[in-house]
Amino acid sequence: MITILAGGTGSVKLARGISKIRDDLVVISNVADNIWLHGLYICPDVDTITYGLAGILDKKRGWGIMDDSFMFMEQMKKLDQDYWFKIGDKDLALHVVRTNFLNNGKSLSWITEWIQKKFSILSPIIPASDNHMETRIETSIGDMHVQEFWVKNHGEINISNIRYQGIENAVANSRAVESIKNSEVIIIAPGNPISSIGPIISLPTIRKELESKKDNVIAISPIIGKSPVSGPASKYMQARGIESSPFGIASYYNNVASNLVISNSDVDYERSIKMLGIDVYKTEIVMQNLEDEINLSNFVLNIFTSA
């Protein structure tokens, strides 16, 4: 079994690549970017993984369903309602169904599995927790949800702190813990380490299981040089006092992963990372198409099969 810890746009590419070469993939998805909007419960990372594995993801945007329309959002705008978070019309149906199930007592895990089957996805997608938790960004203009910071405010506000609200009461999904326990390889996807992966590995039982299997855990750096491949990873890392570099990534994952894949161009970081006790592997980590996704997936899996 192969388990991948995943966020959204940075993670779906690797999950998609692995799903093309292995039929025993399990995806543990971040839930701390989940948000209530317009009376609906929206799960951006879960849905991005769902659409990606179903083959209907809008690859150009990196989120939502391909060829979707936005009549709902246009009408919301006419009615002077919030329209900063774009919800496609096909996408909207999923949020309505999910919210109805939640209101009728179904768990997020049950709902996600139901959706997975409706989309004929073979790889299980497991929410890291069924409890609501959210990444909050403390900024110069106040505390806000991570989606408000990145989507509504375009990540342009100064950050003073990042925290995971509700994590103290959140219980890790038992299926997620069992998946890590039973996997031959656990992969930390190249998602944002603070907002996409951080909430997952901050759940105590998941972190404990990862620590016990760290030799089987491999992370892929989302940073090349000092810059993220995409998104606000550097800004979030700096807010946490973590160096924005492959070394910073290695330091952040040091207790849960003994292996790190970095870009071929980051050879200068190799020695310092190895001094942390982490094995380093270099390859092309930018995934621009399905071939790149499969190549990186094969590279990662071959590290363990050849060991």
Query: What pLDDT tens digit does each residue of the chain (307 aa) get?
Result: 999 999 988 899 999 999 999 999 999 999 999 999 999 999 999 999 999 999 999 999 999 999 999 999 999 999 999 999 999 999 999 999 999 999 999 999 999 999 999 999 999 999 999 999 999 999 989 999 999 999 999 988 999 999 999 999 999 999 999 999 999 999 999 999 999 999 999 999 999 999 999 999 999 999 999 988 887 889 999 999 999 999 999 999 999 999 999 999 999 999 999 999 999 999 999 999 999 999 999 999 999 875 4
- Chain-centre distance of CA 74, in angstroms? 29
φ/ψ (deg, to 5) at 287: -110, 105
- Beta-carbon contacts of residue 142 (< 8 Å; ≥ 6 apart): none
In whole angstroms, give the CA distance from residue 75 to residue 72: 5
- Token readout for 176 is 């997620």
- At a CB cut-off of 8 Å and minimum separation 6, what does 170 contact? 129, 131, 132, 133, 203
Q: Collapsing DSSP states into helix, strand and coil, what is residue 126?
A: strand
User: Are the CB atoms for 1 and 22 separated by under 8 Å?
Assistant: no
